[in-house]
Amino acid sequence: MQSASGQVLLNNKEFQLMEYFMMNSNQVLSTELIMEKVWGLDSDAEINVVWVNISSLRKKLASIEANVTIKSARGLGYQLMVEA
């Protein structure tokens, strides 16, 4: 991923996560829904894998000063916000 300020490499799950957020921008997505759509129904992964990957993705977005952020909606999930 790149912006005017630089570029970062995303691992496979970060890429899938970012893609899912972009397809659903400005919508609040529950952690469970993200887990289902990105990791799949048959995944043995724990829910905290979503939190870890979102944290990593947030850091990478901040490092390139991207005009998007992933906001937490307490008790509801996460939302990709495009900043003007």
So where are the chain's domains?
Answer: 2-67
pLDDT of residue 4: 64
pLDDT of residue 29: 98
Collapsing DSSP to helix, strand or coil, 61 comes out as helix
Helix (H) or strand (E) holding 63: helix 48-63
CB 51 within 8 A of CB 34: no
Mean pLDDT of 61-83: 93
> Would the pTM count as exceeding 0.85?
yes
First-last CA distance in the chain: 19
- Please, what CATH class does the domain formed by 2-67 belong to? mainly alpha
Kindly report, residue by residue over 2-53, the tens digit of the pLDDT.
566 678 899 999 999 999 999 998 899 999 999 999 999 888 889 999 999 9
